[in-house]
Amino acid sequence: MGLVVQKYGGSSVADAEGIKRVAKRIVDAKRNGHQVVVVVSAMGDTTDELIDLAEQVSPIPAGREFDMLLTAGERISMALLAMAIKNLGHEAQSFTGSQAGVITDSVHNKARIIDVTPGRIRTALDEGNIAIVAGFQGVSQDKKDITTLGRGGSDTTAVALAAALDAEVCEIYTDVDGVFTADPRVVKKARKIDWISFEDMLELASSGSKVLLHRCVEYARRYNIPIHVRSSFSGLRGTWVSNEPHAEQGARKVEQAIISGVAHDTSEAKITVVGVPDKPGEAAAIFRAIADNEINLDMVVQNVSAASTGLTDISFTLPKTEGRKAIDALEKTKSAIGFESLRYDDQIAKISLVGAGMKTNPGVTASFFEALSDAGVNIELISTSEIRISVVTRADDVKEAVRAVHTAFGLDSDSAEAVVYGGTGR
């Protein structure tokens, strides 16, 4: 029996009862002979309450102090969890990100882990303790200031510790049973995935699946740490994310599905730059203006220019929250670049089909478009990668589109067989 890293989110430790329930689960793992390291988030709404307090005293987002404030949340939950475990007769010690050796860069509010030196954790484990570690936080290498890792940071803490401690598995406990073939709130017949590759999980995460964040999966892939996503409420086996499916991970490779799942995302907006002169450097100037404002783009599409005008349209999607900033940045460059106008549209949805199997299965793209067409859903933009196809549709169409694609690719839970693809390539 080796070392297990378990991560519990805020909803799992929302109150004293939740903390006691989680403590029992941790003690079970210890009783089964594992060394156990637990990464915990702040209790329930704690972080939101702290943000609210910060807004009351200052509208200025003060990076260093904001991080100092937010990290109080995990300090509370981890100490309470350690107490609850001791109350069950087991030894536990809690550690801040800094004490656990989570070393980051100095970018407050969204720091990146640059090293993990878990000497104190290792010592605590060797002395028979369960180690409880604050998620979401670290300490900056140069200034020794407290930093936070940004959204979903606790998952990243867990995977990073699992890598540094050479853990058997990183268990991510959450309030759902695992990763599904589509959002179960939209697709009633969505199926829990038993096993999924890092690559497919990365694409799902990029495409709107919220169970695991891209960054955490990327870290796990780099260090080859199997992730087991499961419910802290049910105790059922969840979804394994790893390089290769092992027998105990619920699937053999031959059974690997062609398609892993359908993701959707309604958090993006679409900007179209209309009437751009079709000359070298014009597109570059547009994207330089966007990049200089640190705005991350998602899909980018340039239509063929109309020969008669020498003008083209460039469309891209980006988070709605960045929309205002992008429009402002582009307006400032309008005369320099010489485009005609900007169109902003935040009533869009992105639907993505993900699966490594599609690389070798021609016709997936055609089947995807046919399913959408049959459902009467219009396609506005298309973007593809080796293992993903994404389209942009009207936001109103998103549920129908996801259900149609889910059914068409045999992902519905009462469907035993995957559809057979024919045709002439994607």
Shortest distance (Å) from residue 98 CB to a second copy: 9
- Is 10 marked within a binding site? yes
State which residue, 99 or 367, has the beta carbon closest to a second copy. 99
245: tokens are: 């499916």
Q: CA distances (Å), 91 to each of 24, 35, 81, 126, 195, in order?
A: 13, 12, 11, 12, 34
425: three-class secondary structure by DSSP: coil
Show the CA angle centred on residue 208, arms to residues 202 and 214, nearest 5°. 30
Q: Which residues contact 89 (CB under 8 A, 6 or more apart)?
A: none
- Is 219 marked within a binding site? no
State which residue, 59 or 280, has the beta carbon closest to a second copy. 59
Shortest distance (Å) from residue 73 CB to a second copy: 8
Shortest distance (Å) from residue 17 CB to a second copy: 8
Q: Which residues contact 209 (CB under 8 A, 6 or more apart)?
A: 179, 183, 261, 263
Question: Cα–Cα distance between 318 and 327 in angstroms, integer?
Answer: 11
Shortest distance (Å) from residue 161 CB to a second copy: 18
Residues lying near a second copy in the complex (CB under 8 A): 16, 19-20, 23, 50, 53-54, 56-60, 62, 64-66, 68-69, 71-73, 75-76, 78-84, 86-87, 92-94, 96, 99, 120, 144, 146
- Is 175 marked within a binding site? yes
Question: Cα–Cα distance between 426 and 424 in angstroms, integer?
Answer: 7
- Is 73 marked within a binding site? no
State which residue, 91 or 194, has the beta carbon closest to a second copy. 91
State which residue, 33 or 59, has the beta carbon closest to a second copy. 59
State which residue, 68 or 342, has the beta carbon closest to a second copy. 68
- Is 301 marked within a binding site? no
Shortest distance (Å) from residue 90 CB to a second copy: 12
Specify whether the CB–CB gap between 261 and 354 falls below 8 A: yes
SS3 content of the chain, % helix, strand, coil (to 5): 35, 25, 40
Q: Which residues are annotated as a binding site for substrate?
A: 47, 74
Q: Which residues are annotated as a binding site for ATP?
A: 7-10, 174-175, 185, 210-211
Q: Which residues are annotated as a binding site?
A: 7-10, 47, 74, 174-175, 185, 210-211
